[in-house]
Amino acid sequence: MGDSYAVLIQASIQQTNRPIVQQTNSPPMRVLLQRVSSASVTVDEKITGRIGPGLLILLGIEEADTIEDVEWLCGKISRLRIFGDDEGLMNRSVTDVDGGLLVVSQFTLYGSTKKGNRPSFIRSAKPPVAIPLYEKFVKTLAFVAAREVATGVFGADMKVALVNDGPVTIWMDSRNRE
Protein backbone atom coordinates (compact mmCIF):
# COMPACT_ATOMS: atom_id res chain seq x y z
CA MET A 1 0.00 0.00 0.00
CA GLY A 2 2.70 2.49 1.02
CA ASP A 3 2.82 6.03 -0.37
CA SER A 4 0.01 5.59 -2.90
CA TYR A 5 -2.37 4.68 -0.08
CA ALA A 6 -1.35 7.77 1.90
CA VAL A 7 -2.02 9.90 -1.19
CA LEU A 8 -5.48 8.28 -1.53
CA ILE A 9 -6.30 9.12 2.10
CA GLN A 10 -5.09 12.71 1.67
CA ALA A 11 -7.17 13.09 -1.54
CA SER A 12 -10.21 11.75 0.28
CA ILE A 13 -9.74 14.21 3.14
CA GLN A 14 -9.39 17.13 0.72
CA GLN A 15 -12.48 16.14 -1.29
CA THR A 16 -14.81 15.24 1.58
CA ASN A 17 -13.21 17.03 4.51
CA ARG A 18 -13.11 13.72 6.37
CA PRO A 19 -10.84 10.67 6.13
CA ILE A 20 -11.98 7.40 4.63
CA VAL A 21 -11.95 4.38 6.91
CA GLN A 22 -8.35 3.27 7.05
CA GLN A 23 -7.81 -0.33 6.11
CA THR A 24 -5.02 -2.45 7.52
CA ASN A 25 -3.01 -5.20 5.90
CA SER A 26 -3.84 -7.51 8.77
CA PRO A 27 -7.19 -9.24 8.88
CA PRO A 28 -9.47 -8.97 11.90
CA MET A 29 -10.06 -11.46 14.66
CA ARG A 30 -12.86 -13.56 13.20
CA VAL A 31 -15.84 -15.14 14.86
CA LEU A 32 -18.59 -17.25 13.39
CA LEU A 33 -21.57 -17.36 15.77
CA GLN A 34 -24.26 -19.99 15.56
CA ARG A 35 -27.38 -19.84 17.68
CA VAL A 36 -27.92 -23.43 18.75
CA SER A 37 -30.45 -25.60 20.54
CA SER A 38 -27.47 -27.68 21.65
CA ALA A 39 -23.80 -28.14 20.82
CA SER A 40 -20.87 -30.22 21.98
CA VAL A 41 -17.19 -30.81 21.25
CA THR A 42 -15.57 -34.21 21.44
CA VAL A 43 -11.81 -34.89 21.53
CA ASP A 44 -10.51 -38.46 21.52
CA GLU A 45 -14.06 -39.77 22.06
CA LYS A 46 -14.43 -37.63 25.20
CA ILE A 47 -16.81 -34.65 25.40
CA THR A 48 -14.80 -31.58 26.42
CA GLY A 49 -17.59 -29.02 26.18
CA ARG A 50 -21.37 -29.13 25.94
CA ILE A 51 -24.20 -26.58 26.05
CA GLY A 52 -27.95 -26.52 25.66
CA PRO A 53 -29.57 -23.49 24.01
CA GLY A 54 -27.03 -20.74 23.44
CA LEU A 55 -24.15 -19.79 21.15
CA LEU A 56 -21.50 -21.89 19.47
CA ILE A 57 -18.59 -19.52 18.82
CA LEU A 58 -15.97 -20.51 16.26
CA LEU A 59 -12.94 -18.27 16.89
CA GLY A 60 -10.18 -17.48 14.39
CA ILE A 61 -7.08 -15.61 15.57
CA GLU A 62 -4.54 -13.79 13.40
CA GLU A 63 -1.00 -12.70 14.33
CA ALA A 64 -1.91 -8.98 14.63
CA ASP A 65 -4.93 -9.51 16.91
CA THR A 66 -4.85 -7.80 20.28
CA ILE A 67 -6.58 -7.75 23.66
CA GLU A 68 -8.68 -4.87 22.28
CA ASP A 69 -10.08 -7.25 19.63
CA VAL A 70 -10.89 -9.80 22.34
CA GLU A 71 -12.63 -7.26 24.56
CA TRP A 72 -14.72 -5.77 21.75
CA LEU A 73 -15.86 -9.17 20.44
CA CYS A 74 -16.69 -10.54 23.90
CA GLY A 75 -18.74 -7.47 24.75
CA LYS A 76 -20.57 -7.54 21.44
CA ILE A 77 -21.27 -11.28 21.59
CA SER A 78 -22.68 -11.09 25.12
CA ARG A 79 -25.03 -8.22 24.17
CA LEU A 80 -26.00 -9.31 20.64
CA ARG A 81 -29.79 -9.62 20.48
CA ILE A 82 -30.34 -12.74 18.38
CA PHE A 83 -32.70 -14.70 20.63
CA GLY A 84 -36.46 -14.46 20.36
CA ASP A 85 -38.64 -12.51 22.74
CA ASP A 86 -42.26 -13.37 23.62
CA GLU A 87 -43.37 -12.19 20.17
CA GLY A 88 -40.68 -14.13 18.32
CA LEU A 89 -38.57 -11.07 17.50
CA MET A 90 -34.80 -11.15 17.97
CA ASN A 91 -34.66 -8.87 21.00
CA ARG A 92 -32.81 -10.91 23.61
CA SER A 93 -29.14 -11.60 24.16
CA VAL A 94 -27.52 -14.83 25.27
CA THR A 95 -27.31 -13.38 28.78
CA ASP A 96 -30.99 -12.36 28.70
CA VAL A 97 -32.04 -15.95 27.96
CA ASP A 98 -29.42 -17.50 30.27
CA GLY A 99 -27.94 -19.30 27.26
CA GLY A 100 -24.83 -21.41 27.12
CA LEU A 101 -21.55 -20.43 25.46
CA LEU A 102 -19.24 -22.86 23.68
CA VAL A 103 -15.97 -21.54 22.18
CA VAL A 104 -14.04 -23.58 19.63
CA SER A 105 -10.70 -22.43 18.20
CA GLN A 106 -10.90 -22.52 14.41
CA PHE A 107 -7.75 -21.54 12.51
CA THR A 108 -9.48 -22.50 9.26
CA LEU A 109 -11.53 -19.27 9.44
CA TYR A 110 -8.42 -17.73 7.88
CA GLY A 111 -8.30 -20.20 5.02
CA SER A 112 -7.46 -18.56 1.71
CA THR A 113 -8.56 -20.22 -1.51
CA LYS A 114 -7.19 -17.47 -3.74
CA LYS A 115 -4.43 -19.60 -5.22
CA GLY A 116 -4.75 -23.26 -6.15
CA ASN A 117 -7.19 -25.79 -4.75
CA ARG A 118 -5.66 -26.40 -1.34
CA PRO A 119 -6.49 -23.69 1.21
CA SER A 120 -3.64 -21.75 2.75
CA PHE A 121 -3.81 -20.99 6.46
CA ILE A 122 -0.73 -18.79 6.61
CA ARG A 123 -2.70 -15.86 8.04
CA SER A 124 -3.75 -17.85 11.11
CA ALA A 125 -1.79 -17.06 14.25
CA LYS A 126 0.75 -19.61 15.38
CA PRO A 127 0.19 -21.22 18.82
CA PRO A 128 2.54 -18.90 20.78
CA VAL A 129 0.30 -15.96 19.77
CA ALA A 130 -3.03 -17.74 19.39
CA ILE A 131 -3.17 -19.73 22.64
CA PRO A 132 -2.87 -16.75 25.03
CA LEU A 133 -5.45 -14.79 22.99
CA TYR A 134 -7.79 -17.79 22.89
CA GLU A 135 -7.50 -18.22 26.66
CA LYS A 136 -8.02 -14.49 27.20
CA PHE A 137 -11.09 -14.63 24.93
CA VAL A 138 -12.63 -17.46 26.98
CA LYS A 139 -11.90 -15.72 30.31
CA THR A 140 -13.14 -12.34 29.09
CA LEU A 141 -16.33 -13.83 27.65
CA ALA A 142 -17.00 -15.67 30.93
CA PHE A 143 -16.52 -12.43 32.86
CA VAL A 144 -18.58 -10.21 30.53
CA ALA A 145 -21.41 -12.72 30.16
CA ALA A 146 -21.24 -13.71 33.85
CA ARG A 147 -21.34 -17.42 33.12
CA GLU A 148 -19.14 -20.43 32.54
CA VAL A 149 -17.86 -20.91 29.00
CA ALA A 150 -17.50 -24.43 27.62
CA THR A 151 -14.59 -25.04 25.25
CA GLY A 152 -12.95 -27.44 22.91
CA VAL A 153 -9.22 -28.16 23.14
CA PHE A 154 -6.95 -25.72 21.32
CA GLY A 155 -5.14 -27.38 18.43
CA ALA A 156 -6.85 -30.75 18.87
CA ASP A 157 -8.74 -32.70 16.23
CA MET A 158 -12.25 -31.90 17.42
CA LYS A 159 -15.65 -33.27 16.48
CA VAL A 160 -18.21 -30.50 16.81
CA ALA A 161 -21.89 -31.45 16.94
CA LEU A 162 -24.63 -28.85 16.89
CA VAL A 163 -28.29 -28.26 16.25
CA ASN A 164 -28.45 -24.84 14.60
CA ASP A 165 -31.49 -22.93 15.84
CA GLY A 166 -33.19 -20.83 13.16
CA PRO A 167 -30.76 -21.18 11.54
CA VAL A 168 -29.06 -18.07 12.86
CA THR A 169 -25.41 -17.79 11.80
CA ILE A 170 -23.52 -14.50 12.07
CA TRP A 171 -20.04 -13.57 10.86
CA MET A 172 -18.22 -10.96 12.96
CA ASP A 173 -14.87 -9.28 12.63
CA SER A 174 -13.11 -7.03 15.09
CA ARG A 175 -11.55 -4.54 12.65
CA ASN A 176 -14.74 -3.37 10.95
CA ARG A 177 -16.64 -3.65 14.23
CA GLU A 178 -19.41 -5.62 12.56
Catalytic residues: 108
* Residue 64, amino acid: A
Of the chain, the end-to-end C-alpha distance in Å amounts to 24
* Residue 160, amino acid: V
Q: What does the CA dihedral 24, 107, 101, 75 come to, rounded to 10 degrees?
A: -10
Q: What is the distance between the alpha carbons of residues 55 and 99, in angstroms, rounded to a whole number?
A: 7
Residue 40 belongs to what H/E stretch?
strand 30-43
Could you say which DSSP state residue 130 is in? H
Does residue 80 sit in helix, strand or coil? Answer: coil
Residue 170 belongs to what H/E stretch?
strand 159-173
Does residue 154 sit in helix, strand or coil? Answer: coil
